[in-house]
């Protein structure tokens, strides 16, 4: 049986992701995603187009329809440095679960114990105290456009800083 070459996973900061409105062609087959920082995984999910689903979470945070989207808002601008990983259920990494999308999501949740996944997660990681919970009151961006603007400025500053070092 011949197998397609292994798929490449994508890891990108939320700040950088907010500067990309159209899903790049090579990311369109990613069907698993997670939100994390350097230590803790916050959420794992699946969708036929993971990039679009991540954006739906970010939009959903404003309407209270996404816990992880709300969490990103409540921790803005710090959350700009959170990382989103996009993965393929068909990659060799998920061979042990038969490359089945549901099984691959379950596998990630069992392995990573994300903070906000309640289903399939017998031991969710407690949210670190350095972060505000999704229910926190306080100042946050008023719109996704504001977040995109902030992210574009931060990315430009970072690029300028890299040029001078």
111-120 residue pLDDT tens: 999 999 999 9
pLDDT band of 25, cuts 50, 70, 90: very high
Indicate whether 2 belongs to any domain: no
pLDDT given for residue 1 in this prediction: 42
Compute the distance between CA of residue 47 and CA of residue 131 in angstroms, rounded to an integer.
Answer: 27
46 pLDDT more than 90: yes
pLDDT of 131 higher than 90? yes
d(CA 30, CA 42): 19
1 occurs within a structural domain: no
17-36: average pLDDT:
96
- What are 54-80's pLDDT values in tens digits? 999 999 999 999 999 999 999 999 999
Number of domains in the chain: 1
pLDDT attached to residue 2? 42
Coil, helix or strand for 17?
A: helix
* Residue 97 lies in domain: 10-163
Residue 5 lies in a domain: no
pLDDT at 155 over 90: no
- Cα separation of 165 and 162, whole Å? 5
Secondary structure (3-state) at 61: helix
Residue 3 inside a domain? The answer is no
Does 156 map to a domain?
Answer: yes
pLDDT at residue number 4: 56
Is 148 a member of any domain?
yes
User: Is 57 a member of any domain?
Assistant: yes
Task: Please give the C-alpha separations between residue 59 and each of 70, 141, 144, 147, in angstroms, as whole numbers.
Answer: 9, 12, 7, 11
Would you say residue 38 lies in a domain? yes
């Amino acid at each position: 049986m011949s197998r397609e070459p292994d798929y490449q996973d994508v890891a990108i900061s939320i700040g950088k992701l907010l500067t990309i409105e159209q899903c790049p062609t090579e990311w369109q087959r990613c069907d698993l995603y997670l939100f994390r920082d350097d230590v803790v995984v916050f959420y794992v999910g699946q969708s036929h187009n993971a990039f679009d689903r991540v954006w739906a979470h970010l939009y959903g945070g404003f309407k209270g329809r996404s816990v992880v989207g709300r969490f990103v808002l409540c921790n803005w601008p710090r959350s700009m440095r959170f990382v989103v990983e996009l993965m393929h259920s068909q990659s060799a990494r998920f061979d042990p679960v038969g490359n089945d999308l549901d099984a691959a999501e379950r596998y990630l949740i069992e392995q990573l114990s994300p903070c906000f996944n309640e289903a399939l997660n017998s031991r969710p990681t407690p949210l670190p105290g350095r972060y505000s919970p999704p229910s926190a009151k306080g100042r946050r961006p008023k719109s996704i456009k504001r977040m995109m603007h902030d992210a574009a400025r931060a990315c430009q500053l970072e690029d300028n800083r890299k040029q001078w070092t």
